[in-house]
Amino acid sequence: MNVGGPMSDKRDYYEVLGIGRKASDSDIKKAFRSMARKHHPDKNPDDPESERKFKEVQEAYAILSNPEERRKYDMFGHDRPGGSPFGSGGFQGVNISIEDLFGGGFESIFSSIFGGGGRPRSSKGTDLLVSHSITFEQAFHGTEEEIEIEVLNHCSSCSGSGSETSDGIRVCPTCDGRGRITRIERVGPFHQQITQDCKSCKGEGRIIQNPCKICRGEGRSQQSKKVKFSVPPGIDSGTRLRMTGHGESPKSQNGKPGNLYIEIEVLNHEWFERDGADLLMALPVSYVDLLLGTSIEIPHIDGELLKVKIPAGSRPGETVSISKRGMPSSRIRGGRGSVMVLLKLAMPSKVNRVTRKQLQEMREELSNGFSDITEGLIKEANDRRRS
């Protein structure tokens, strides 16, 4: 027995489902149901790794739930003669809803993968990705948005059938409506069963004799579509919102539409930058404000003035932290991040003659306080290394 030989980078199907090699059909079904619910895309939106694992779990179940395919896998592993049982395209995944996993409606979906059913395979429409910009203030408060997209939807003229008339469709005689052809090929001493899409009907299981003039038999046409969606407070740039079922319609009528992913771009604020839930800003203040201390109020996104208290004796480059006034976040205690204010020394562009004379007289009082410049250099270096 050679499971997953050196030429294969696939994981062992039994390992994927977390079961032993002597598992019963009931054990296989139970393990699949559990793993599929765990990694289902509806429970893990915007998680490519979960989508990959969901497809991996489906593929393992498709093989191990079929007695003949399981026997071949136990004998040859992934390096079976004739290559993948799913054809040159490999396993493409099937549409299984959360309700199917709880109610047990997934068996019939898998039963036709290897040509065992009379119903054409279910397919899924293509997922779409669009970008949408919102203001910094909208990202802070959250917002209700609406976009208009061009998407391939079922043709309204032929109701997605692709035929100009209701009697212009016939069952494909080549595959008897299955959409797939199974043939037996001899590979050395073995007989290999190969299942592929029917070339006559391109896997649809039907042939259109009188194509719709609008969609030319495709069953789909480009249509404008308005989509409303909610943007949660505290959203960050690059976040993708998943709109289930708002992608392209599938080619086959028994499939499900794809998903629409809306990637949010948050526009820049006039003075705030962002670090997760924290808001960063630089505040220019005078030397007198740093020396004597002061309190400064500035407008804030939450609608209340932001009060920045600058302690006496502050230095340029120091930071004043104001807690619970940053971006909303459910991941941190208090529900909001902090505002981090970087103090910067604002130098006047011009000094009049009187002020200059006064500063000259105060030069000694405003000096660095060190008798020797090297003493100041050493203290500054020590303070920097300790911080």
Q: What pLDDT score was predicted for residue 231? A: 95
**Packing angle, helices 48-64 and 25-39, rounded to 10:** 170
Q: Which H or E run includes 36?
A: helix 25-39
Q: How far apart are CA 215 and CA 159, in angstroms?
A: 10
The torsion angles phi and psi of 279, rounded to 5 degrees, stand at: -110, 130
The enclosing domain of 51 has a CATH number of 1.10.287.110
223 plus 245 within the same structural domain: yes
146 plus 255 within the same structural domain: yes
**Tokens for 371?**
């008798």
Flag whether 221 is in a domain.
yes
Q: How far apart are CA 73 and CA 8, in angstroms?
A: 13
How many domains would you assign to the chain?
3
259 plus 154 within the same structural domain: yes
C-alpha torsion sign, points 290, 296, 298, 303 = positive
Residue 6's pLDDT band, with cuts at 50, 70 and 90, is very low
Query: In which domain, by residue range, is 303 found?
Result: 273-386
Q: What pLDDT score was predicted for residue 171? A: 81
* DSSP E strand boundaries for 214-300: 220-231, 240-243, 260-266, 273-275, 278-285, 294-298
Q: What pLDDT score was predicted for residue 4? A: 45
243 plus 341 within the same structural domain: no
228 plus 280 within the same structural domain: no
247 plus 173 within the same structural domain: yes
Q: Which of 82, 111, 140 is a domain's end point?
A: 111
Residue 119 has pLDDT above 50, yes or no: no
Residue 235 has pLDDT above 70, yes or no: yes
Flag whether 229 is in a domain.
yes
Task: Specify the DSSP class assigned to residue 184.
Answer: E
Q: What is the mean pLDDT of residues 236-255?
A: 85
Flag whether 8 is in a domain.
no
Tens of pLDDT, residues 315-327: 999 999 999 999 9
Q: Please state whether the predicted TM-score (pTM) of the whole model is above 0.75.
A: no
330 plus 284 within the same structural domain: yes
- Residue 106's CB is within 10 A of a number of other CB atoms, namely 22
* DSSP E strand boundaries for the chain: 128-134, 143-154, 169-171, 180-187, 190-197, 206-208, 220-231, 240-243, 260-266, 273-275, 278-285, 294-298, 306-310, 319-322, 339-345
Tell the burial category of 28 from Cβ atoms under 10 Å away from its Cβ (0-12, 13-18, 19+): buried
Q: Which of 64-73, 173-182, 205-214, 328-337 has the lowest mean pLDDT?
A: 173-182
Q: Which residue has the higher pLDDT, 107 or 11?
A: 11
Q: What pLDDT score was predicted for residue 114? A: 63
Flag whether 26 is in a domain.
yes
Q: How far apart are CA 18 and CA 35, in angstroms?
A: 9
C-alpha torsion sign, points 54, 56, 61, 66 = positive
Q: Which of 81, 111, 141 is a domain's end point?
A: 111
Flag whether 117 is in a domain.
no
- Give the residue ranges of DSSP H helices in 97-146: 98-103, 107-111, 136-141
The enclosing domain of 221 has a CATH number of 2.10.230.10
Residue 96 has pLDDT above 90, yes or no: no
Residue 118's pLDDT band, with cuts at 50, 70 and 90, is very low
Q: Which one of 14-18, 154-158, 162-166, 344-348 scores highest in mean pLDDT?
A: 14-18
Q: Which of 111, 143, 163 is a domain's end point?
A: 111
138 plus 261 within the same structural domain: yes
Q: What pLDDT score was predicted for residue 5? A: 43
Q: What is the mean pLDDT of residues 138-152?
A: 94
